[in-house]
A and B are shown apart, each in its own frame.
Chain A
Amino acid sequence: MRRRPTSPIQISERELTALTRDLDEMHRATLPVMHDAVAEWKEDLRSRSEQPEPEALTTSRRRFLVGTGAVFSGLLLAACGSTDDDGEETGGRKQGSATEAVRPLTGDFAIAALAASIENLAVNTYQAGLEAATAGRLGEVPPAVAAFAKTAQQHHGDHAGAWNQVLTNGRRHTVTGVDRTVKGNVDPAFAQVNDVAGLARLALELEKVAAATYLKSISAIKNNGALKVAASIQPVEMQHAAILHFALGEYPVPDSFAKEDGARSATDQIG
């Protein structure tokens, strides 16, 4: 695409701001949709009375839960696979100080925990970026970038909240930690960020990982409520990526079809 020479700013910010005056209200208005999906999952759990999951997992589901781990193989936990006395897959993680009343994370709950951990990592990374900007370590930060970072961070916080609500409804611990497997790559990359473009590039990579993970999870999730939650979040991560592409001066919708490249698996380390 041909680039256009820039021109002096004659922006009517008031007009543009007026278009987003109710942004926060609109954002809040979407929450009931998510709550309905989470409630559907809770109802499904109740109706099943914690029945064991079927032993025969689909190929995509098993692949998602086990993952290839090719990039971060040194940090992987034992893979899921067998079925315990409760009919749940073994090898799942226990979050925090698990008690007898709290069950391990397997199946859709493992996916929910993974999603929450990626969302938490995104929240923390945007927070670190905003703090670096405030400290002046990124040079001059355009107001549009700061506004984007705050809004995207809020979205990711809401996403983490949705998944944690799912976990809580299923009598699992909430996930307050991050995907440490991904963080292992984010930390050294963030250490090298010294300008807004570098931060935007890092954020873009995280958004792509999140979107790819949700896309892949849609093939693996069995519960309809959980599927709706994932389907309601994946497009939002894609939108974040589009805006970041645009901010970087890149074509904002480069792919005709979303990709699973870079998707994380439920074997990632969380903590």
Chain B
Amino acid sequence: MPIDEHALGELLVESQDLQSDAMRTSRESLDAMVELGHERRAQGGFDPDEGDHVANERRRLMRMSLLGTGALATTGLGAALLGVMSRPAFADEALDVQMLQTSASLENLAVSTYDKALGLDFIGGGGANPTVRAFVLKTKEQHAEHAAAFNAAATRLKGKPQTGPDPILQKAVDRALTPTPTAPGPVVALAIDLEMGAAQTYQNNVAALSDPQARSLTASIMGVEAQHVSILLAVKALVEANQPDLIALDPGNVAKLPEAAGTVGIPDAFGKTEKSRPAEEGALA
């Protein structure tokens, strides 16, 4: 096989230039992140003990992110970058902001999905169970509050507020709502999926966030999403049992509920994380 040495030389020069550009870009990003870390420490906002506390979790999340891109995995640069990014100086705000933006994106998607659901007669119209309608309205409001809180936290850490939805789950929602459902069951099932995804993502993030305030905020929201899951599971069960009338806020109602209604909303002794979303999924570039 003949080799054009001149062409090969040009390719090598071009390759070196590309590498230099990439390294310069990476170095600038790293410098910016390190500077952020310095500023934060200067403000007394970092507990050195928390480096151990969250380092493993951050490393795991970053590994997921890097492998998710595929591009770095084969070059060896991914491993090196992983090592650098796992250091607290680099990763504390950067990954925290990513997680907070992704959290906001999940909340934004929940708001828009519940909004669409309320446009359906059997959820938000005259044909709806009034308790279900009130629950959807209130839950939508709560998700809007969560989105605002996550964005405020991201902004405090010098990130941008995320006003859009999680792009991956948005596609899943679009598929679930096309064609438009004609009964509550599929809509409730979709809501359960979104709420579970949010609750599990936040549970996962609690162990990975380095910023104490962001961690406390996330912890204060994960249980609320889990409560949404509980009620939706009970609603789903009663809808599927063709007993929507039992979905009511009436102290006397409990006597009429079947035995299984007491357990369907509390299926697990420990929260799971298998449906948690990747840290960067809803992050802004």
Chain A residues at the B interface, C-beta cutoff of 8 Å: 1-4, 6-7, 9-13, 15-17, 19-20, 23, 26-27, 29-31, 33-34, 54, 56, 58, 60, 140, 142-149, 151-152, 154-155, 158-159, 162, 196-197, 211, 215, 218-219, 222-224, 227-228, 231-243, 246-253, 255-259
In the complex, are the beta carbons of A224 and B207 less than 8 A apart? yes
Tell me which of B13-21, B61-69, B243-251 binds A.
Answer: B243-251
Question: Which residue on B lies nearest to A140, using beta carbons?
Answer: B255
Q: How far is the CA of A29 from the CA of B130 in the complex (A)?
A: 35
Q: With the chains together, A128 CA to B206 CA distance in Å?
A: 35
Chain B 7-28 against A: per-residue CB contact (8 Å), 1 yes, 0 no? 0000000000000000000000
CB–CB B248/A3 < 8 A: yes
Taking a contact as CB atoms closer than 8 A, the residue among A4, A17, A26, A247 that contacts B254 in the complex is: A247
Interface status of B285 (Cβ within 8 A of chain A): no
Whether the pair B270, A10 counts as a contact (CB closer than 8 A) is no
**Main SS of chain A's interface residues?**
helix
Q: Which 3 A-B pairs rank lowest in CB-CB distance, beginning with the nearest?
A: A238-B223, A235-B226, A148-B262
Contacts of A219 in B (CB 8 A): 212, 215-216, 219
Chain A hits for B47, CB < 8 A: 58
A12 touches B262 (CB 8 A): no
Can you list 30 contacts pairing A with B, beta carbon distance less than 8 Å? A1-B134, A4-B245, A6-B248, A17-B260, A19-B264, A20-B260, A143-B258, A143-B262, A146-B262, A149-B262, A158-B269, A196-B254, A215-B223, A218-B215, A224-B56, A227-B53, A231-B206, A231-B222, A231-B271, A232-B203, A235-B199, A235-B225, A236-B266, A236-B271, A242-B227, A246-B254, A251-B249, A252-B135, A257-B217, A258-B224
Contact A242 B256 (CB under 8 A): no
Q: Is B40 on the interface with A (CB-CB < 8 A)?
A: no
Residues of B within 8 A of A (CB): 47, 49-50, 52-54, 56-57, 129-131, 134-135, 138-139, 141-142, 145-146, 149, 199, 203, 206-207, 212, 215-217, 219-231, 234, 237-238, 240-243, 245-246, 248-273
Collect the chain B residues with CB atoms within 8 Å of residue A215's CB.
216, 219-220, 223
Question: Are A27 and B268 also in contact (CB < 8 A) when A15-B240, A256-B142 are?
Answer: yes
Query: What residues of A have a CB within 8 angstroms of the CB of B142 in the complex?
Result: 253, 256
Chain B nearest CB, measured from A260 CB (Å): 8
Chain A residue at minimal CB-CB distance from B57:
A224
Most buried by A among B227, B231, B267, B270: B270
Q: Given A224-B207, A239-B226, is A246 in contact with B250 using a C-beta cutoff of 8 Å?
A: no
Pair B257/A142 contact, Cβ less than 8 Å: yes
CA distance A114 to B135 in the complex (A): 35
Q: State the CA gap A252–B139 with chains docked (Å).
A: 11
B258 touches A235 (CB 8 A): no
How far is it, in angstroms, between the C-alpha of A155 and the C-alpha of B230 when the chains are bound? 15
- Report whether A4 and B262 are in contact in the complex, using a CB–CB cutoff of 8 Å: no
The distance in angstroms between the C-alpha atoms of A9 and B246, with both chains bound, is: 9
> Which of B53, B131, B223, B243: most chain A Cβ within 10 A?
B223
